[in-house]
Amino acid sequence: MTLSIDRQTDPASLKIHPQVALAKFTTWKVGGPAQWAIEPTNIEETQAAIAWAKENNLSITFLGAGSNLLIGDTGLPGLVIITRHLRWIETKFDAELCQIEVGAGKMIGSLAWQAARKGWTKLEWAAGIPGTVGGAVVMNAGAHGSSMQDVLVSTQVLNTAGEIVTLQPAELDYSYRHSNLQGSDLLVISAILQLAAAENAAAVVGKTQKDLERRHTTQPYDQPSCGSVFRNPLPQFSAKLIQDAGLKGYKIGGAEVSEMHANFIINCGDATATDIFQLIHYVKQQVKAKWDVDLETEVKMMGEFPALIG
Ligand SMILES: Cc1cc2nc3c(=O)[nH]c(=O)nc-3n(C[C@H](O)[C@H](O)[C@H](O)COP(=O)(O)OP(=O)(O)OC[C@H]3O[C@@H](n4cnc5c(N)ncnc54)[C@H](O)[C@@H]3O)c2cc1C
Neighbours of 236 (CB within 10 A): 13
Residue 228 falls in the annotated catalytic set:
yes
Which residues pair with residue 60 across a beta bridge? 79
Q: Distance from first CA to last CA of the chain, Å, rounded? A: 50
CB burial of 70-93 (b: ≥16 within 10 Å; e: otherwise) equals: bbbbebbeebbbbbbebbbbebee
From 1.10.357.10, 3.30.465.10, 3.30.70.20, 3.50.50.60, which CATH number describes the 92-217 domain? Answer: 3.30.465.10
Q: Would you kindly state where each structural domain of the chain is located, as residue ranges?
A: 12-82, 92-217, 221-298
- Residue 147 CA: which ligand 1 atom is closest? 11
Q: Does domain 221-298 have CATH number 3.90.78.10?
A: yes
Q: What pLDDT, on the 0 to 100 scale, is given for residue 139?
A: 98
**pLDDT exceeds 90 at position 8:** no
CA distances from 249 to 4, 39, 221, 295 (A): 54, 36, 16, 19
From 1.50.10.20, 3.30.43.10, 1.20.120.530, 3.40.50.2300, which CATH number describes the 12-82 domain? Answer: 3.30.43.10
Q: Supply angle C-alpha 253, 254, 258, rounded to 5.
A: 115
Q: Are strands 146-147 and 142-143 parallel, antiparallel or unpaired?
A: antiparallel
Q: What pLDDT, on the 0 to 100 scale, is given for residue 195?
A: 98
Dump pLDDT digits (tens) for 94-111. Answer: 999 999 999 999 999 999
Q: What pLDDT, on the 0 to 100 scale, is given for residue 309?
A: 60
pLDDT tier at 2, thresholds 50, 70, 90:
very low
Q: Indicate which residue of 87, 177, 225, 238 is catalytic.
A: 177
Q: What pLDDT, on the 0 to 100 scale, is given for residue 310?
A: 57
* Whether the domain at 12-82 and the domain at 92-217 fall into the same CATH topology: no
pLDDT tier at 12, thresholds 50, 70, 90:
confident
On the question of a cis peptide bond just before residue 306, with omega within 30 degrees of 0, the verdict is no
Residue 45 falls in the annotated catalytic set:
no
Better pLDDT: 102 or 6: 102
**Whose C-alpha lies nearest to ligand 1, atom 47?**
62
Averaged pLDDT score across all residues of the chain: 94
**pLDDT exceeds 90 at position 14:** no
Q: What pLDDT, on the 0 to 100 scale, is given for residue 75?
A: 98
Residue 177 falls in the annotated catalytic set:
yes
| 295 touches ligand 1 (CB under 6 Å) | no
Dump pLDDT digits (tens) for 196-220. Answer: 999 999 999 999 999 899 999 999 9
For residue 35, report the phi and psi dihedrals to the nearest 5 degrees: -60, -45
Better pLDDT: 238 or 222: 238
| 98 touches ligand 1 (CB under 6 Å) | no
